Amino acid sequence: MKVFKFTLRKVEVVVHSSFLFYLRTPFHFVLRFYAKQKQVKTETENIVPLSNNIIVDIFGLAIQRSLLLLLLLINGFISAKSQGEVNIPQPADLDLVEERRLLKAVETAQKAVRNVPDDAEVWGQLGHVYLIHRWEVPAIACYRQANTIAPDEFRWLYFLGRLTTRREPEAAVKYLNRALALNDAYAPAHLYLASALRILGKLDDAQQHLKTAKELQPDNPFSELWLGEIAFAQRQVELARTHLENALRLNPNQSEAHALMAQVATRLGDKETAKKHAYAARQPSRHSELSDPLWWHVLRAGVTAPLYAERGRRYMAEGNYIDAVAEFEVLISRTQKDIDVWLDYGVSLFHIERYAQARAALEHAQTLLRSDEDTRKNKKPHEIAYLQAQAYNYIAQTYYETGQTDAAILTGQKAIQLFHNSVGNTQPSLTKNSRLFLDIGNRVLGQKTHDATYTTFLANVHANLAMAYEDIGQLEQALAQYKKSLELVPTKSASHRDLAGVYWKMRRYAEAEPHYKRVAADAPTDLQAVYRLGLISLTKEDYETAIARFEKVIELDAAHVRAYEALGIAYQEIGDISAAMGAFEEVLRLEPNNKNTSEILKELREKQ
Report the residue count for the chain. Answer: 608
Query: Of 256-265, 444-453, 481-490, where does mean pLDDT reach its minimum?
Result: 444-453
CATH number of 519-608: 1.25.40.10
**Backbone φ, ψ for residue 540 (5° rounding):** -90, 5
Q: Indicate whether this model's pTM tops 0.75.
A: no
Phi, psi of 5 (to 5 degrees): -120, 140
- 374-431: per-residue pLDDT in tens? 888 888 888 899 999 999 999 999 999 999 999 999 999 999 998 887 765 434 334 4
584 confidence band (pLDDT: 50, 70, 90):
very high
**Contact assessment for residue 363 and residue 383, using Cβ atoms and an 8 Å cutoff:** no
Average pLDDT over residues 116-140: 97
CATH homologous superfamily for 97-281?
Tetratricopeptide repeat domain (1.25.40.10)
Q: Kind and range of the H or E element at 362?
A: helix 355-371
Q: For 90-116, what is the mean pLDDT? A: 95
Residues with Cβ < 8 Å from 130, sequence gap 6 or more?
A: 89, 91, 106, 136, 138, 139, 142
If pLDDT is split at 50, 70 and 90, which confidence band does 573 have? very high
| CA separation for the pair 207, 172 (Å, rounded) | 17
Burial class (CB in 10 A: 0-12, 13-18, 19+), 35: exposed
450-491 pLDDT, tens digit per residue, is 356 888 999 999 999 999 999 999 999 999 999 999 999 999
Confidence of residue 75 (pLDDT cuts 50, 70, 90): very low
Q: What are phi and psi of 4, to 5 degrees?
A: -110, 140
What is the pLDDT, as a whole number, of residue 94? 93
Q: Backbone phi, then psi, for 90, in 5-degree steps?
A: -120, 140
